[in-house]
Chains A and B, each alone.
Chain A
């Protein structure tokens, strides 16, 4: 960008932290900021943060467009939550809303502006079959046909069933029974999440939320934060990390106002075997957004932190990833953590063969 090593990613992180600073950005920096914010799904969040700041007219137009889109997205997401809650109302199965839909229904501060994707929910493993049946009865169908490799893989090894898409509306539910794949090296305890789950209204500022049936819950604050941290720092390659870390920043600043939060968080992290990913997530959140946390919980940085920061700060002025080396190593790490090496080899072999098969089937159509 010409200006003393301030990369487009850093402009975004700084803009989210201190929105008043965007008043001084030049046109070229604005264009870069918009690209990176879109790539990181943080455009509407930026719009909300910058609501009181003087910005160029065109920037205001694009930020407001994104804010309006996020509000519509929330309407649609809320509708899907309520339809799901209806479908499971009489089942008596405890249902925990996860990530975006939890923030939405408990009115937590990653909102407003936070884009909400698929509806992630969690039920006890022994209730999976009943839940799946009830959802199928209400129109949600599995996108992976029974008996295929993908379907079997999900059911045997994953922390969720294959996605269920609604036959009319297309809305997708990801039905979980724990928060990490069963093949992962760490094994959190889902039963503790159900023990500590709370009603969305218990967390909402003012206690007012949409009326939800009695069997709909969200995670307790420490576990909600742990889940977000684990998702970022353990299950994956830091793709979309700026957004996930922003969630973590907002949750930490909000939850840490309560007396004893850090103690509860430390106990929960130990109980779930998630102390390491929590520490990493807090370190990265501090690096990007100055998120406050006790040094004892945060721990010491390592090589993975440095790779992740290279990737998180590596977008170019068109929002494209510009740290391919770090990206590749993190991709390998993500798979390494997700499954044992022999299983990984078998999985990649099967996937590679399937792709080759697809390529062969498509080839005659492409030939001219």
Chain B
């Protein structure tokens, strides 16, 4: 099988991406053109491949499944046209299952100067949209929209992992009003999460992907139609539980992982955010940020 092939570095990890399907690799190359491209002469972190579900599915009713260093069993096969999304999922899975050098948190994050906000919440709560708004409408440096890497050092730092932001459904239009079309990837319709479109973070976020920041505020967004904007501070134990549950590897990191999250919730205030409108969300964050001083 002749393989299409590329390597790309996102924050601390370099990925080797390959497939006999040409289109998804080319789409990934276009999407990641501004990222550091790994060379053949370097040791990379994770390999990810999209292969035909069955050999003939390479040509007829094209569908692919994924092979990688770390994989969950029973990945649902996907159509060739959604290959880019499959790569994104497989890449995230390598970080979630295989990366053990830092605590991996299912969270978005952004920084002002050397101080950072961590945005935790379930899928669909508004993490990606809020982090996109912060970086494109409020001048924050985008650190990541899906995974936050918390280094187990003293003081605690957050390592950027600024993948393209995965916007879903209505938030695509929200951001399209604010950002030039050239920063967007192709529109992927009919995915498990509806319509998905990737938004490249501002160029500065990619250029500074090796510059860490110190966490100063934790928020958990709750977007819902028709609610009045308000914030509610979490107790330290509540914040710990939310972060621990949001982590893919903290329990496997044992005592250092436990100690780091405990220190984090002692040092950094955490809030629930309720809003129905993106301008309100930005204002709530700005107020809390000023208070966190």
Contact = CB atoms under 8 A, between A and B. Distances in A.
Contact of A28 (B40, B45, B98, B100): B40
Given A318-B49, A318-B67, A320-B67, A65 B43 contact: no
B42 A75 contact: no
Given A72-B253, A368-B190, A319 B42 contact: no
B100 A69 contact: yes
B254 A72 contact: yes
A367 to B, nearest CB: 12
A56 B69 contact: no
Contacts of A59: 43
A69 B42 contact: no
B47 A35 contact: yes
Nearest to A169: B251
Interface in B226-253: 252-253
A319 B254 contact: no
Contacts of B76: 366
Interface in B21-48: 40-45, 47
A24 interface: no
A27 B252 contact: no
Interface residues of B, number: 21
A318 B67 CA distance: 9
Interface in A39-90: 39, 56, 58-59, 61-62, 65-66, 68-69, 71-73, 75-76
A31 interface: yes
B43 A35 contact: no
Given A61-B101, A368-B190, A69 B43 contact: no
Contacts, number: 47
B43 A27 contact: yes
Interface residues of A, number: 27
Contacts of B44: 31
Nearest to A56: B43
Contacts of A62: 43, 45
B101 A319 contact: no
Interface string B249-275: 000111000000000000000000000
B100 A58 contact: no
A213 B49 CA distance: 48
A170 to B, nearest CB: 10
Nearest to B44: A31
Nearest to B255: A75
A368 B81 CA distance: 15
Given A72-B253, A75-B254, A319-B69, A34 B100 contact: no
- Most B-side CB within 10 Å, residue of A65, A66, A318: A318
A71 B40 CA distance: 32
Contact of A58 (B16, B40, B42, B99): B42
Secondary structure class of chain B's binding surface, majority of residues: loop
Interface in A303-350: 318-320
Given A59-B43, A72-B252, A72-B253, A65 B67 contact: no
Interface in B66-86: 67, 69-70, 76
A299 to B, nearest CB: 37
A254 B80 CA distance: 52
A39 B71 CA distance: 10
A58 B43 contact: yes
B43 A34 contact: yes
A107 to B, nearest CB: 19
Interface in B99-122: 99-101
Contact of B69 (A38, A69, A75, A368): A38
Contacts of B98: 38
Given A38-B69, A69-B100, A318-B67, A30 B254 contact: no
B100 A68 contact: yes
Contacts of B69: 35, 38-39, 319
Contacts of A69: 100, 252
A316 to B, nearest CB: 11
Contacts of B67: 318, 320
A318 B190 CA distance: 31
Interface in B2-34: 16
B254 to A, nearest CB: 4
A68 B69 CA distance: 18
Contacts of A30: 43
Contacts of A65: 99-101
A58 to B, nearest CB: 4
Given A38-B69, A320-B67, A27 B100 contact: no
B253 A31 contact: no
B261 to A, nearest CB: 15
24 contacts: A27-B40, A27-B43, A28-B40, A30-B43, A31-B44, A31-B47, A34-B43, A35-B47, A62-B43, A65-B99, A65-B100, A65-B101, A68-B100, A69-B252, A71-B254, A72-B252, A72-B253, A72-B254, A75-B254, A76-B252, A318-B47, A319-B47, A320-B67, A368-B190
Would you list the 3 A-B pairs with minimal beta carbon distance, nearest first?
A: A58-B43, A72-B254, A69-B100
Given A31-B16, A35-B47, 5 more contacts: A31-B43, A69-B100, A72-B253, A366-B76, A368-B190
